[in-house]
Amino acid sequence: EVQLVQSGAEVKKPGESLKISCKGSGYSFSVYWIGWVRQMPGKGLEWMGSIYPGDSDTRYSPSFQGQVTISADKSINTAYLQWSSLKASDTAMYYCARLIAVTDPLKGWFDPWGQGALVTVSS
Amino acid sequence: QSALTQPASVSGSPGQSITISCTGTSSDVGSYNYVSWYQQHPGKAPKLMIYDVSNRPSGVSNRFSGSKSGNTASLTISGLQAEDEADYYCTSYTTSSTYVFGTGTTVTVV
């Protein structure tokens, strides 16, 4: 079974750093892009960026470029999303999802999704 | 990159058909057939319902179908059932090599 399992909920203070993870299993992790998606409380889904674990090629949404860092360690089938200095506005649920494509590896659809990681930033 | 435009809410009676629109631009929906749809129940992760405009993954009911015309994609749910109550999001690949999601639509079965 193809599965993405994310790290648990986090409660942090403004200014703190954080790295959350997404571990893939049941497929060849290195050859599929992984996307990160933010969902703020009561709001819609926002694509943050994607990474190709095979060579760590990374693409960011202009809205998130410079605000977060996406990385991956293919040796342990894990992708990461990290912040160097959290803000209250980073409070959200964060999902990772595998990108499936047929002709171009970057153009396709997201399936499956991780269970989500709730990040709460509050003083 | 602006979010794709979806109606905030759509409702229907059990057994009826409803359609959710997803309007983008010539830089996203209008340029590619890489449009997919996701269902999200409260407190749950999104679930893929349609990919590449009109393809249904294995295990998804054939009551769900997708189409596209110009800059607008659509998701139709036929034979509406109580379990279809959820939020639905479209997404499209863009000419900037990014993805953009729709604003989301809440489906209510009345």
pLDDT one-digit tens code per residue, B29-69: 999 999 999 999 999 999 999 999 999 999 999 999 999 99
- Whether residue A102 is predicted with pLDDT greater than 90 in this model: the reply is no
Mean pLDDT for the stretch of residues A28-35: 96
Q: Which of B27, B20, B26 is nearest to B102 (CA)?
A: B20
- Whether residue A114 is predicted with pLDDT greater than 90 in this model: the reply is yes
Q: How confident is the model at residue A38 (pLDDT cuts 50, 70, 90)?
A: very high
A45 touches chain B (CB under 8 A): yes
Contacts of B1 in chain A (CB under 8 A): 61-63
pLDDT digits (tens, 9 = 90+) for A74-85: 999 999 999 999
Contacts of B105 in chain A (CB under 8 A): none
Length of chain A, please?
123
- Whether residue B1 is predicted with pLDDT greater than 80 in this model: the reply is no
* Residue B16 to chain A, least CA–CA distance (Å): 26
- Whether residue A5 is predicted with pLDDT greater than 80 in this model: the reply is yes
Mean pLDDT for the stretch of residues B8-35: 97
DSSP string for A24-88: EESS-GGGS-EEEEEE-TT--EEEEEEEETTTTEEEE-TTTBTTBEEEEEGGGTEEEEEESS--G
- Whether residue B77 is predicted with pLDDT greater than 80 in this model: the reply is yes
